[in-house]
């Protein structure tokens, strides 16, 4: 699992970018590759789409076979599958009352449960009342 600081410079050549490349290189043989940071590259809220993440980091995620990227910032749950990488927005901690953002999953208040086994990584987004908003599996 790799944690990044999306409030600091991650452009090519930056210290964080070089560190990420080195960490991904070292993780080439790892079964599961998971990355997390705050600002989502994809969001149903247009102003929350972080295009610089798409430009600078997504090509690395694709190149090194990152399975899933978790982010927050948008106050809801959403899930995108782009060029072989799952992007999950999981910002269901309560800011929705200020922003009233929406997505097709209708899960502003939720938690995300991840279950990992040697051959399967399962992600479930669960609404506060227990209703399943989304479930998907990555199998290897």
CATH fourth-level superfamily of 2-102: GpdQ, beta-strand dimerisation domain (3.30.750.180)
Q: What is the mean pLDDT of residues 33-54?
A: 93
Residue 38, class by beta-carbon neighbours within 10 Å (0-12 exposed, 13-18 middle, 19+ buried)? Answer: middle
Q: What is the pLDDT of residues 80-89, one digit of tens each?
A: 999 999 999 9
Report which DSSP code applies to 47.
G
Return all residues near 122 (Cβ < 8 A) that are at least 6 apart: 114, 115, 116, 135, 136, 137, 138
pLDDT of residue 18: 98
Helix, strand, coil: what percent of the chain each, to 5?
Answer: 20, 30, 45
pLDDT of residue 67: 98
What does pTM read for this prediction? 0.94
Q: How far is CA 105 from CA 1, 20, 34, 57, 101, in A?
A: 26, 31, 22, 26, 11
pLDDT of residue 87: 98
Q: What is the mean pLDDT of residues 120-128?
A: 96
Q: How far is CA 16 from CA 23, 36, 55, 57, 67, in A?
A: 10, 14, 15, 11, 20
């Amino acid at each position: 699992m790799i944690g990044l600081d999306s409030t600091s410079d991650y452009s090519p050549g930056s210290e964080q970018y070089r560190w990420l490349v080195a960490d991904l290189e070292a993780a080439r043989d790892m079964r599961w590759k998971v990355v997390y940071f705050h600002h989502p590259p994809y969001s149903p809220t247009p102003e929350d789409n972080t295009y610089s993440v798409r430009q600078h980091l997504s090509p690395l995620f694709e190149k090194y076979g990152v399975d899933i990227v978790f982010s927050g910032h948008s106050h809801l749950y959403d899930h995108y599958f782009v060029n072989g990488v799952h992007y999950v927005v999981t910002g269901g901690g309560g800011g929705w009352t200020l922003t009233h953002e929406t997505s097709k999953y209708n899960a502003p208040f939720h938690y995300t449960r991840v279950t990992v086994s040697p051959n399967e990584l399962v992600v479930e987004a669960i609404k506060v009342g227990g209703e399943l908003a989304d479930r998907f599996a990555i199998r290897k």
